[in-house]
Amino acid sequence: MNKNGKLYFEIDGKPCYADAGQSIIDAAKANGVFIPSLCHVEGVKPAGSCRICNVKVNGRVMTACTTPVEDGMVVDNDIPELIELRKAIIDVLFVSGNHFCPSCEKSGNCELQALAYRYQIMVPRFPYEFPLKDVDASAEHIFHDANRCILCKRCIRTITKEGKHVFAYQGRGGEHLQIVMDKELASLLTEQEAQEAMEICPVGAILKKEQGFIVPIGERKFDKVPIGSDIEKQ
């Protein structure tokens, strides 16, 4: 513990400081260290579902979004073993959905695509599964495409209407689980709320209608700089 009452810890040998109770991923960000994640939303109870943010804490693999910093913690982040694990999980997410990056409305703003670029993934190592998924375009302003969903639970945890969840898991297991949209509540979402839902989705599963290509591909967030570079520039 240092004199400001902050916790001292290290990521890949870099001295870092954290507030008590702060998660490793948030504390890393505050210290200019990027730990990739596809499910984490700062300020929201972590889901620990994508498993991309797995780090090694004192030699044990743990998710950085669910593990609070402890004083003196030694964290491994950017090491070959974890990079390999993260790349494998990204591969898994690509083949278990139907992702068509070149024509997707979220291309360039998609965090899955951006992570694949950052890790220089050319092609996934696993065979594509081409699963059958549902598309729900019933609501006025919002469109849900389970083909592109990575089941990260961001929408489940954050999007509400009248205090109720708009999105939820349905089914279970590797072959039947989907996120579905409550038709009744979704139809009540305003344009602004649809915009927020689209932005919270890391991929192109939640889209605001009539919005897709207003900003041309090539001029989007991750078209210019790799994901995480804003954190690392600090």
Partner 1 sequence: MTEKIQSIIRKYSSDKYRMMDILLEIQELYHHIPEQAVEILADQLDLSRVDVEQTISFYHFFSLEPVGKYAIYLNNSPVAHMYGRTEVARAFEEEVGISFNSATVDGLIGLWDTADIGMSDQEPAAIINGTVFTELDPAKARKIIQGIKEGKKVADIAEEIADKIYSKGLLRTMVKNNIHAKGSVLFGDFELENALRKALDKTPEEVVEEVKASNLRGRGGAGFPTGLKWEYCRASGGDEVFLICNADEGEPGTFKERVILTELPRMLFEGMVIAGYAIRAKQGILYLRYEYRYLKEHLESILQGMREMNLLGKDIAGKSGFDFDIRIQLGAGSYVCGEESGLIESMEGKRGEPRNRPPFPVQSGYLDKPSVVNNVETLCKVVPILANGADWFKSVGTKESTGTKLLSISGDCKNPGVYEMEWGMTINEMLEMVGATSVQGVKVGGPSGNCIDSTHFGRSIAFEDLATGGSMIIIGEQRDLLRDFILPFTNFFIEESCGSCAPCRSLTVILRNKLLKILNGNGTKKDIDELYTWAQMGTTANRCGLGQTSANPIITSLDNFRNLYDDLIKTDQDYLSAFDLEKAVAASCEVVGRVPNIESH
Contacting positions for partner 1 (CB under 8 A): 46-52, 54, 61, 63, 66-68, 85, 88-89, 92-93, 95-96, 126-127, 129, 150-151, 153, 163-175, 177, 180-182, 184-185
Report the alpha-carbon distance of residue 231 to residue 225 in Å, rounded.
11
* Residue 182 C-beta: closest distance to partner 1, Å: 4
Report the alpha-carbon distance of residue 80 to residue 132 in Å, rounded.
34
Which residue, chain included where needed, has tokens 């594509």? 128
Q: Which is nearer to partner 1, 128 or 224 (CB)?
A: 128
CA-based nearest residue to 49, from 19, 17, 14, 93 = 93
* Residue 217 C-beta: closest distance to partner 1, Å: 26
Q: Which is nearer to partner 1, 28 or 89 (CB)?
A: 89
* Residue 6 C-beta: closest distance to partner 1, Å: 20
Burial of 116 (0-12, 13-18, 19+ CB in 10 A): buried
* Residue 128 C-beta: closest distance to partner 1, Å: 10
Say which residues have a Cβ less than 8 Å from residue 13's Cβ, sequence separation at least 6: none
Q: Which is nearer to partner 1, 180 or 231 (CB)?
A: 180
Q: Which is nearer to partner 1, 62 or 217 (CB)?
A: 62
Show the CA angle centred on residue 142, arms to residues 140 and 143, nearest 5°.
110
* Residue 223 C-beta: closest distance to partner 1, Å: 25
Q: Which is nearer to partner 1, 65 or 227 (CB)?
A: 65
Instruction: Give, in order, the Cα–Cα distances in Å from 92 to each of 118, 122, 200.
Output: 16, 14, 21
CA-based nearest residue to 203, from 186, 182, 179 = 179
Q: Which is nearer to partner 1, 20 or 225 (CB)?
A: 20
Report the alpha-carbon distance of residue 95 to residue 7 in Å, rounded.
40
Instruction: Give, in order, the Cα–Cα distances in Å from 68 to each of 6, 64, 162.
Output: 13, 8, 32
Q: Which is nearer to partner 1, 182 or 191 (CB)?
A: 182
* Residue 84 C-beta: closest distance to partner 1, Å: 8
* Residue 156 C-beta: closest distance to partner 1, Å: 9
